[in-house]
Amino acid sequence: MPPDKTCVKHNVILEKGLAKKIYEPPSPEDEEFDSLFPFHGIYKHTQKEEENSYNLIVVSYCKKCRKEGLNFIQTKREVQVILSSLDC
């Protein structure tokens, strides 16, 4: 039996879950997010769109990376709302 894969950042065993498929190359922002939370399992870039496929894919993810990544996204959205209300 192969050893369980672990998160390189948190040193915890990865779990299986679903992530959203994104059919475009990663943006610089995506690459930065992926480096901060390497096993977030929120989305996964794929090469091409498959006919009649769901927009979900099975991935290995780290609970801590996913939680931290979702918190990061929420905080970023809140900051954008605050900045837009300041009429800068």
| pTM (whole model) above 0.85 | no
Locus of tokens 């990061």: 72
pLDDT, tens digit, 9 for 90 and up, residues 48-87: 766 656 789 999 999 999 999 999 999 999 998 888 888 7
Q: Please determine, for residue 14, whether its predicted confidence score (pLDDT) is greater than 60.
A: yes
User: Left, alpha or beta for 15 (phi > 0: left; psi -120 to 50: alpha)?
Assistant: beta
Tell me how far apart the alpha carbons of residues 78 and 27 are, in angstroms, rounded to a whole number.
21
Of 44, 43, 40, residue with least CA distance to 66: 40
**pLDDT of 38 strictly over 60:** yes
The residue extents of the domains of the chain are: 15-85
Q: In 3-state terms, what secondary structure has residue 84? A: helix
> Which has more confidence, 85 or 11?
11
